[in-house]
Structure 1
Amino acid sequence: MFNQKTAWITGASSGIGEALAVELARQGARLVLSARRETELQRVAKATGLPADAVLVLPLDVTDAADLAEKVQTVLARFGRVDYVFQNAGITQRSLVQDTDPVVYRRLMDVNFFGAVALTQAVLPQLLTQKSGHFVVTSSVAGKIGVKQRSGYCASKHALHGFFDSLRAEVANEGLRVTIVCPGYIRTPISSSALSASGEVYGKSDRAQEQGMPADECARRILKAVAAGREEIYVGGREIWGIYLKRFFPAILSKIIRNRRVEG
C-alpha cells in the first residue's frame, strides 16, 4: 500500500509523528519529515533506516503560511509528487478557562487548526492535478468531547473535524481521500510540552498519558485504517468509549466529565 509512495509527515520529530515515520519506512514509503526542530528530524531520519535519497528532512513551522508554497515545491523537486499528507503537528494546554490568557487560545488555534488548513491549501493544487492523494489528520478524542483544562485544545480539534469533513465532500470525486484520526491516551510527550494559562510550558507528564498506548502501536493502527480507506478512526484504550457515550448517552458522559478530577 505505502511502498514507493511519498508520505509527508508534520510533527515528525516525536510521538505519533515519529512512530508513523518509522512504520511507513518499514513499509517502503519515501518520507518528508517536517517539524521545527531540525536536529530531532535528523535523528528520526536516521532511525527510519532509509537511504538518503528516500527521505527528505524539511524543517518548517506550520504557522508560517507564507513559507509553505516554497516547501511544497521543495518536496516536488525531490520526489515529483505527494501521495499522503500526515498532519500531526499540534500542542495542547493545561489551564482553566477563567485563568487562560487569550494569547494561549490564539496559539492553540494557529498551530492545531490554521496550520493544518494552510498546509492543506498549499499542497491541495498538486493533489488535484495528480487526481490522487490522501490527507491523514490527527485530531483527538478531545475533538469529539470537551473536558476540563483543555478548552482551547478541544476547540481547535473540534474545528479540524468541520474543516476536513467539508474538504472530504468537496474532493471526493477528484480521487482524493481524507482520514481523521482521534487518538486517546498515547504514550507521547505532548502533555509535558502543553501550554499553561500564561503560555509557558506546563512541564509535567500526565499519568494517563504515561500509561497510554505505545506510539508505535498507534501508528500501526492508523496505517491499517488509512490503507482500508477509513474516514474516521478512534485509537486508544477505554477512553475512546467516551465518544460513543457522547453520541448515545450524553447526560451520562457529562456527569462523568464534571466529576472527574484533573491532575496538576
Structure 2
Amino acid sequence: MGTLWQRLSTLTGKSFKTCLCLSPKHQWWIFRKTVQKGKLMDFTSTVIIPLLFGSVGIFALFRLLQWMRMRAYLQEAVVVITGATSGLGKECAKVFHAAGCKLVLCGRDSEKLQDMVQQLSTVTNHRKKTHKPHTVVFDLSDTKTVLNAAEEILKYLGHVDILINNAGISFRGTIVDTGLDVDKKVMETNYFGPIALTKALLPSMIKRRKGHIVAISSVQGKISIPFRSAYAASKHATQAFFDCLRAEVEQYDIDVTVVSPGYIQTNLSLNAVTADGSRYGVMDKNTAEGQTAAEVAQVVLSAVGQKKKEVLVAGLTPSLAVYLRNLCPRLFFTLMAERAKKERKAKAS
C-alpha cells in the first residue's frame, strides 16, 4: 500500500503525509482519475497534436495548389470588363491587370477609359508580366452598339477567356410613381445589355470549348426591398438568366459565376435614377458604410480563379435576410413592410 501512496503523492503533487490521511476509497479514486488524466495527456500529445498539425499542413498545401492553379488560369487570360471606369469595375480592372490578364476595358466615356489605361500602365509587377489594356467604347443600353463592340473585341484579340458583366445602374422610387420608360431603362442597362454581350461572345467560347462568364448581380437579385423595384427586378432577371446559362453551357466546359454583393462604397446610389428618370444624387448611409470596392474586387478575382459558381458578398444582416426570405417568408414580408413605413416617415419628416 506504501507503493500506492508514494505513486499517489507523485501524481497528485500532494505530500506523502496528506495522502496517508485519505480514506483508501478516496485514495484509489484520485489515483484512477490522475492515471486517466495522464493517459489523456499522452493521447493528446501523441495523437491529437500531430493530427492537428498534419491537418494544418494539408490545408496549407491545398491553398498553395489552389493559388498556383488560379495564377496559371488568370495569367495571359483575355478579360473583358464592362463599367471599368469607376467603382467595382475600376477595382476589378486593377486586380485582374495585376494578375497578368490582357484587359479589354469597356465603358461609355472614352476619356475616362484612357485615363484608366494610363493608371494601369504606370503599375509594374516584377513577378508577373502585365499588358497594356485595350478599350472599347459603347453603351450597354443600346444593343446595336453592344453587338458592334463584341465584333471589335473578337477582331482585335481573337477570343475572350473571361467576361465580367459589371456595369449597371440603380433605382430609387415608388412603383406607383415610376414611369414604364424608367423600368425599361434600368432593364436595358442591367439585364438586356449584359445578356446581349454574353450572347454575342458565347459562340466563340463554345467553339473553343473554353470560357468563363461572370455576372455581377446583387443581394437584391435574391431578395427585394422597398423602393428598389426596377433595380431588384433587373437583378432577379440577371440571376435567373445566368443560372440557366450555367446549366446549358456546362457541356462545353464553360464556367458561369454569379457574384451577389451587398452594399459597396461606390457612386451607385448617387447615380441611381428616380421615378421620373432624374438622377438621385444622394449617398445612402448603407452604401457609405458598405464594403470597399477593392475588397469586393479581390473576392471577384478569387471566385473567378477558383471557378466558383456563386458567391454572396454581404454582411450578416443581408445574408440572414436571404435565408429568411426562403425559410420564413411571412416574417420577411412583415419586416419589409415595416421598412417601407419607416422610409416613408423619414422622407416625410
TM-score clears 0.5: yes
Where does residue 80 of structure 1 map in the other structure? 158
| Structure 2 residue 335 is matched with structure 1 residue 256 | yes
| Structure 2 residue 210 is matched with structure 1 residue 210 | no
1:14-25 equivalences in 2 (<5 Å): 14-25=86-97
Q: Distance between the aligned counterparts of 2:118 and 2:319, measured in 1?
A: 33
Where does residue 152 of structure 1 map in the other structure? 230
| Structure 2 residue 216 is matched with structure 1 residue 138 | yes
TM superposition shift of 1:12: 0.9
Where does residue 42 of structure 1 map in the other structure? 114
3-state DSSP class of the match of 1:187? coil
Where does residue 260 of structure 2 map in the other structure? 182
TM superposition shift of 1:46: 2.1
**Amino acid paired to 2:199:** Q
* Range that drifts further, 241-250 or 98-107: 241-250
3-state DSSP class of the match of 1:177? strand
TM superposition shift of 1:249: 2.3
3-state DSSP class of the match of 2:81? strand
1:1-264 equivalences in 2 (<5 Å): 1-49=73-121, 54-238=132-316, 239-260=318-339, 261-262=342-343
The structure with the larger Rg is 2
Residues 46, 242 of structure 1: CA spacing in aligned structure 2 closer, same or farther, 3 A cutoff? farther
* Range that drifts further, 240-249 or 143-152: 240-249
3-state DSSP class of the match of 1:99? coil
Q: Higher helix fraction: Structure 1 or Structure 2? A: 2
**Amino acid paired to 1:121:** K
3-state DSSP class of the match of 1:54? coil
The answer on whether the counterparts of 2:100 and 2:131 sit within 8 Å (CA) in structure 1 is no
Gaps of 5+ in 2: 1-72, 125-129
TM superposition shift of 1:53: 5.6
Asked which structure has the greater RCO (Cα within 8 Å, sep 6+), the reply is 1
3-state DSSP class of the match of 2:160? coil
3-state DSSP class of the match of 1:67? helix
The answer on whether the counterparts of 1:139 and 1:181 sit within 8 Å (CA) in structure 2 is yes
CA RMSD of the aligned region, Å?
Answer: 1.7
Q: Distance between the aligned counterparts of 2:272 and 2:145, measured in 1?
A: 25
